């Protein structure tokens, strides 16, 4: 069985984290920052490029939405996948991703000059990723894996379906939305463009982890 194109996922991820999409709780615009519009449009472009033609940027809500038609004759329910465009309230200027291949389980120097070290002493979970590729910042910004990892995974999934039409699926809807970190994006969700009863949000957590709750990072912070 063919696999998801991990190069595409990594390339998309690196490209998306470089767009500053920090949301702004003070702004009254939708989305609250122009970088989020830039990223949404970039995603729409990329989706067209990989052959997902039914793709739009909804300027009213700030959401990019795409769908794949069912490729089975049975009438089965649609499923949705959602990820957010914005990043948390931390420096996101000039994000410079660093790729560390074949991680050896030791300290990772993010920034020699500023002596920023990513250490398994502080983050014991790092030890679970020995032998894997790590992607980090240069220690001066956030990375934005929350939630550009979610976006890149969804792009990888869509490409997989496009390239492997023998893999059967019902209608698939995906949505990439703004201002999740500040609790504003969900209110704008363009329900009329997303006719699904069920959807998954791809946002953090460990590999293989699934939570049934309706998560809202805004209320859980208060
Ligand atoms: Zn998130």
In this prediction, residue 204 carries a pLDDT of: 85
For residue 166, the CA-to-ligand 1 centroid distance in Å is 33
Q: What is the mean pLDDT of residues 27-35?
A: 97
For residue 203, the CA-to-ligand 1 centroid distance in Å is 5
> Which residue spans within the chain are E strands per DSSP?
55-58, 63-68, 79-84, 98-100, 108-111, 116-118, 134-136, 172-177, 198-201
- pLDDT per residue as tens digits for the range 100-133: 999 999 999 999 999 999 999 999 999 999 999 9
Q: What is the mean pLDDT of residues 66-95?
A: 97
Chain mean position to CA 87: 10
Q: What angle, 0 to 180 degrees and rounded to 10, lies between the N-to-C axes of helices 145-163 and 34-49? A: 20
In the predicted model, is pLDDT for residue 222 greater than 60?
A: no
Q: What are the residues whose beta carbon lies below 5 Å from ligand 1 (ion)? A: 146-147, 203
In this prediction, residue 214 carries a pLDDT of: 66
Pairwise CA distance, residues 38 & 21, whole Å: 8
- pLDDT per residue as tens digits for the range 41-78: 999 999 999 999 999 999 999 999 999 999 999 999 99
Residue 175: both structure tokens together = 């949505």
For residue 181, the CA-to-ligand 1 centroid distance in Å is 7
In the predicted model, is pLDDT for residue 216 greater than 70?
A: no
Residue 194: both structure tokens together = 């997303």
Cβ contacts of 196 within 8 Å, gap of 6 or more: 77, 78, 79, 80, 171, 173
Confidence of residue 217 (pLDDT cuts 50, 70, 90): low
3-state secondary structure 29-90: CCCCCHHHHHHHHHHHHHHHHCCCCCEEEECCCCEEEEEECCCCCCCCCCEEEEEECCECCC
For residue 152, the CA-to-ligand 1 centroid distance in Å is 13
In this prediction, residue 205 carries a pLDDT of: 83
Q: What percent of the chain lies above the pLDDT cut of 70? A: 95
In this prediction, residue 21 carries a pLDDT of: 98
For residue 149, the CA-to-ligand 1 centroid distance in Å is 10
Confidence of residue 212 (pLDDT cuts 50, 70, 90): confident
In this prediction, residue 208 carries a pLDDT of: 87
55: β partners: 66
pTM, two decimals, is 0.94
In this prediction, residue 38 carries a pLDDT of: 98
In this prediction, residue 104 carries a pLDDT of: 97
For residue 79, the CA-to-ligand 1 centroid distance in Å is 20
In this prediction, residue 220 carries a pLDDT of: 45
In the predicted model, is pLDDT for residue 157 greater than 50?
A: yes
Which amino acids are annotated catalytic? 86, 180
Which of 2, 5, 37, 26 shows the shortest CA–CA distance to 158?
5
């Amino acid at each position: 069985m063919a696999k998801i194109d991990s190069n595409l996922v990594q390339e998309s991820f690196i490209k998306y984290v470089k767009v500053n999409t920090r949301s702004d709780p003070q702004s009254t615009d939708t989305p609250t920052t122009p970088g989020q519009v830039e990223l949404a449009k970039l995603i729409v472009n990329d989706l067209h490029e990989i052959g997902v033609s039914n793709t739009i940027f909804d300027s009213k809500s700030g959401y990019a939405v795409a769908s794949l038609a069912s490729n089975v004759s049975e009438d089965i329910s649609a499923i949705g996948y959602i990820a957010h465009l914005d990043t948390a309230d931390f420096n996101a200027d000039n994000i410079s991703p660093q790729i560390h291949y074949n991680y050896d389980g030791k300290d990772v120097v993010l920034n020699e000059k500023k002596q920023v070290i990513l250490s398994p002493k502080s983050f014991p979970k790092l030890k679970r990723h020995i032998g894997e590729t790590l992607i980090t910042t240069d220690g001066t910004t956030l990375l934005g894996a929350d939630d550009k990892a979610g976006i890149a995974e969804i792009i990888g999934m869509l490409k997989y379906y496009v390239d492997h039409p023998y893999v059967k699926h019902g209608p698939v809807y995906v949505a990439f939305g703004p201002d999740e970190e500040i609790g504003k994006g969900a209110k704008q969700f363009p329900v009329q463009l997303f006719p699904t009863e069920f959807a998954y949000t791809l946002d953090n957590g460990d590999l293989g982890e699934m939570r049934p709750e309706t998560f809202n990072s805004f209320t859980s912070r208060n």
